[in-house]
Structure 1
Amino acid sequence: MSFEPIWGAPIAWYLFLAGLGGGAFVTSAFLRWRHPEAVNMRKAGHIIAPVVVMIGLVLLMIDAEAGLHHPLRFALLLHNPFSVMTWGVVFLAAFMVIALVVLLLDFLKKRVPAWLEVAGVVFAVCVAMYTGALLGVCKTFPLWNNALLPILFLVSAMSAGAASVLLVGALRFAGEFEVVGLLKKAHYCLPLVEIVLVAALCFITSYNSTAGFDSVMGLVCGSWAPLFWLGLVIVGLVAPTAVETWLLFFAPKEFEESSKARMVSVGVDACVLVGGFLLRYLVVMAALPVVFVM
């Protein structure tokens, strides 16, 4: 008989930070493509990406005590090419190398080659999706073992990464923040997609098994309901979408370009980051296993 691993808050932080790092790198690449004038915001994304992923990896090692005391044991994960964890190690290692090289080039004030940034984007997307696939291999947890989870985590990672870069831009680089309108509009769409994916994940999971139904009930009307509705849905998804709708489409032009509008955007982006973490935390903590009766 085999037992699935039971994960807690440190893993939720790891999943969030890994996705955030990938999203921040993709956001920097997007700025290079559509807003090349936002140089400082792009560099901020290049700093955020490797730093937060590195913090996430440290948390992973702390949670996996054997790896903490014997870090070289993580190399053993590379022996199985059919393992999701093996591919996760490959994706993370490649992404970290590229992200650190890009960061070094920024500090040396050298131009980052386009091919290197494209490679970084590919591995950033792989890392973001891997965080969902890592949970998905635990087949006895219906809330995790769902094909929508990697897609949901990818969209959430892109949203959190964009929010982190926009947050830095609003606080430090006001001039650049005002001209990245296309990034703001792209970021505005992501929580809308997340709302649909969260609803679909809950609907599908609730119908696939008793454990899945109980997991979803725990989220929507059980012990996790206050955190789910108030934290994830209201603070993390609905409120940012509502405020951004007003800022982008209904706010007077003079207010949209004011310092007050930037502070409102800071609050919105902070809420998105809170929602990004709570999504992982709730998915990890609320999942119930299938019970086999002998």
Structure 2
Amino acid sequence: MIWDWIIALYLFLAGMGAGAFVLGVIAGWKCPDASKVKLAGLVIAPVAVGVGTLMLMVDARAGLMNPLRFFGLLANPSSIMMWGVVLLSAFLLVGVVELALQWKTKKTPKWLDVVGVLLAVGVAGYTGMLLGDAHLAFPLWNQMVLPLLFLVSAASAGFAAVVLAGHALHAPELEQLRFTHTTGLVLPVLEAALIAVLLMMAQAADGSAAAAGAASVAALTSGAYAAPFWLGLVVVGLACPFALELAMRAKPELAAGPAAYVAECCVLVGGFMLRFLVIYAAVAVAVA
């Protein structure tokens, strides 16, 4: 096992934090009075990414027995992880500054918002590239599809976290952010399509990667990880939020009840399950 559940949780938290920041900023742009929603996004972002980064430092394939190994990565510019650390650090710095400004003045400069959004997109995409820094070939960790899949999933998880916080805070401005109802329908469909593409590309791997690709897909769809894949990711993480969003569209009064909380919690479960399964079901190409 190259990576483990600690890295899965890091990938989830980093993606969720990046997505939360983006929604917080968009809320401020579209609805200047959406102070609670924006603040929720700006609080979730640095906390989630900061905790996730700390977990990455603790793990770093070294653990607490050799924490200096993590800092040694900064001297290796050819490492994806090194650039990831730089990206995470820049995002955390901007995120903390944005939070402080929002807390004190109730507004943030638009240029800093834009810088933060660009860094957030970079963080979310980077989490899909980190797995490729394992020095072994894993067909399931396709570097063309996985960063995009993790980017979409990060948006889903981050938006869900902020909306969930908004409901808990009884933020009336959520009603003014109706685009979140659309993203609640579009993002699960897009994520499901990208998962299907990822599995098809892994299954279609040829040469020495063919056996590993087929084994990875089989582990997810019919093997050891079939139950968490179909139930945890597909049903709970994708189908349930989509169905609940449709129900809330048909009967708006449902949005004021438990259905809204359940839908967002399901998205968060699916976001973690995606990363957990992508890590644990991946089979490495056999080295001759």
Calculate the TM-score normalised by the size of structure 2. 0.93
Distance 1:197 1:44, change over 3 A: same
Partner residue, 1:160: 157
State which of 246, 268, 279 in structure 1 corresponds to 2:274.
279
- What is the CA-CA distance between 1:176 and the residue it aligns to? 1.9
Distance 1:66 1:230, change over 3 A: closer
State which of 125, 129, 133 in structure 2 corresponds to 1:129.
125
Confirm whether residue 142 of structure 1 aligns to residue 139 of structure 2: yes
Query: Do the aligned partners of 2:184 and 2:245 also contact (CA within 8 Å) in 1?
Result: no
Letter in 2 for 1:267: V
Partner residue, 1:27: 23
Query: Do the aligned partners of 1:31 and 1:183 also contact (CA within 8 Å) in 2?
Result: no
CA distances 1:9-30 after superposition (whole Å, capped 9, x unpaired): 0000000000011000011111
Q: How does 1:92-131 map to 2 (within 5 A)?
A: 92-131=88-127
Partner residue, 1:246: 247
Letter in 1 for 2:177: V
Alignment partners' CA distance in 1, 2:152 and 2:89: 22
Letter in 2 for 1:280: R
Confirm whether residue 182 of structure 1 aligns to residue 179 of structure 2: yes
- What is the CA-CA distance between 1:65 and the residue it aligns to? 6.3
- What is the CA-CA distance between 1:173 and the residue it aligns to? 2.3
Alignment partners' CA distance in 2, 1:147 and 1:287: 16
Distance 1:72 1:117, change over 3 A: farther
State which of 196, 220, 226 in structure 1 corresponds to 2:193.
196
% identity of equivalent residues: 47
SS of residue matched to 1:143: coil
Confirm whether residue 265 of structure 1 aligns to residue 250 of structure 2: no
SS of residue matched to 2:125: helix
Query: Do the aligned partners of 1:188 and 1:241 also contact (CA within 8 Å) in 2?
Result: yes
Letter in 2 for 1:218: A
Query: Do the aligned partners of 2:142 and 2:198 also contact (CA within 8 Å) in 1?
Result: no
Query: Do the aligned partners of 1:23 and 1:159 also contact (CA within 8 Å) in 2?
Result: yes
Partner residue, 2:212: 211
Alignment partners' CA distance in 2, 1:227 and 1:61: 28
Letter in 2 for 1:155: V
Partner residue, 1:12: 8
Alignment partners' CA distance in 1, 2:31 and 2:157: 19
SS of residue matched to 2:204: helix
> Which stretches in structure 1 are left out of the alignment for 5+ residues?
none
SS of residue matched to 2:264: helix
**More divergent stretch after superposition (272-281 vs 23-32):** 23-32
CA RMSD of aligned residues (A): 1.7
Calculate the TM-score normalised by the size of structure 1. 0.91
- What is the CA-CA distance between 1:109 and the residue it aligns to? 2.8
Alignment partners' CA distance in 2, 1:193 and 1:49: 23
CA distances 1:169-215 after superposition (whole Å, capped 9, x unpaired): 11212412222212221233111100000011011101101101100
Aligned length: 283
Alignment partners' CA distance in 2, 1:72 and 1:95: 22
Query: Do the aligned partners of 1:11 and 1:63 also contact (CA within 8 Å) in 2?
Result: yes
